[in-house]
Amino acid sequence: MRVVDFRSDTVTQPTPAMRAAMAAAPLGDDVFGDDPSVNALQLALAERLGFGATLFMPTGTQSNLCALLAHCQRGDEYIVGQFAHTYRWEGGGAAVLGSIQPQPLNHQPDGSLSLAEVEAHIKPDDVHFARTRLLTLENTIGGKVLPLSYLADASALALKHGLARHLDGARLFNAAVAAGGDPYVAAREITQHFDSVSVCFSKGLGAPVGSVLCGSAAFIHQAKRWRKMLGGGMRQAGLLAAAAHYALDHQVARLADDHVLAKRLAAGLQGLAGVTVEAPQTNIVFIDVAGPKAAGVLDHLKSRGVLATGLYKLRFVTHLDVDAAAVDQTIAAMREYFAG
């Protein structure tokens, strides 16, 4: 039986062509700024996304944390979504390591934060309050694409109140590809609304490791200091940057294939009793299972060679290493379980 893994788009293996690019990469000591492959990746992303500087990071978590530390001082506050990675999934790092207070807000059904609510939570300059300093958004958020008009409005609101704007763009290119047209142009239309953006290469882009933080030269100078302090100053990191660079050049447009597979999965699960399927916008399918069948569904799927996760809802993520046959195997296993 073939085992198909929908737990995350982080499970992808580097392709033979990506491994070849890694093997051929010229290397140097990146803490000295000497690694040509790291420098080439950083330059390519700065140009493509329209930033003054960028910085290669081991993980998205460290990239977001360095951004928060560079934007905020001790006693500052960032406004963020309840289910945003930078609030819920990063161990409270900004508070633990940066003495930065989060102000979490509930999401609207489309994943956005109500801008009226954001504005209501910006604290006046008063000794009782933390200093509201930063608005942090995420795109895609739970696989949903934030509309460009919303990003423009959120950005204008932040600027009006003197807040910096950070985007957790772990899946920025999924949002860009979903927009249609040239994905690099679409990505820039998103990133233009932010002072800093973090992009993951180890998700749907299919690299084994790595994120890049983008911002102004002065901002990246600060972030680099934090990265070193957090232990993220890597040496011959070009071996990894070469994989990310390969992904940037060759594995962006193909994210559309993942989106098609997600739609195929969602369509195949329609109509099962007790199952509510959210229509996917990109590569993540969320499913609500009501009633007594909820408890055993992951175990059943596993017995049929299908891996998924189910922390809040049942979640399937499509990626480079699954295909239509894997989707159909999953649909069959789900039908079997919910029919029985």
Ligand X SMILES: *Cc1c(COP(=O)(O)O)cnc(C)c1O
Residue 105 beta carbon to ligand X: minimum distance, rounded to whole angstroms: 16
When binding is defined by CB under 6 A, the residue of 45, 56, 76, 85 that contacts ligand X is 85
Position with the least CB separation from ligand X: 60
When binding is defined by CB under 6 A, the residue of 30, 37, 38, 60 that contacts ligand X is 60
Q: How far apart are CA 258 and CA 285, in angstroms?
A: 11
Find the part of the chain contacting ligand X (CB under 6 A) among 38-46, 56-64, 65-73, 254-262.
56-64
Residue 59 touches ligand X, criterion: CB under 6 A = yes
Residue 137 beta carbon to ligand X: minimum distance, rounded to whole angstroms: 11
Q: How far apart are CA 70 and CA 53, in angstroms?
A: 14
* Six token digits for residue 236: 């011959």
Residue 264 touches ligand X, criterion: CB under 6 A = no
Binders in 237-256 for ligand X, by CB under 6 A = none
Mark residues 168-207: x for contact with ligand X by CB under 6 A, - for none. x-x-----------------------------x-xx----
Which alpha helices (H) appear in the chain, and where do they start and end? 16-24, 36-49, 60-71, 85-88, 93-98, 115-120, 148-160, 172-179, 183-191, 217-229, 238-250, 255-269, 297-303, 324-339
Count interface residues toward ligand X (CB under 6 A). 12
When binding is defined by CB under 6 A, the residue of 5, 138, 257, 258 that contacts ligand X is 138
Q: How far apart are CA 41 and CA 212, in angstroms?
A: 9
Residue closer to ligand X by CB (options 110, 182) is 110
| 8 A C-beta contact, residue 168 and residue 138 | yes
Q: Is the peptide bond before 59 cis (omega within 30 degrees of 0)?
A: no
Closest CA to 27 of 236, 209, 232: 236
For the CA atoms of 293, 299, 305, 306, the dihedral, rounded to the nearest 10 degrees, stands at 60
Residue closer to ligand X by CB (options 5, 138) is 138
Residue 98 touches ligand X, criterion: CB under 6 A = no
Residue 307 beta carbon to ligand X: minimum distance, rounded to whole angstroms: 17
Binding stretches for ligand X (CB under 6 A): 59-61, 64, 85, 138, 168, 170, 200, 202-203, 211
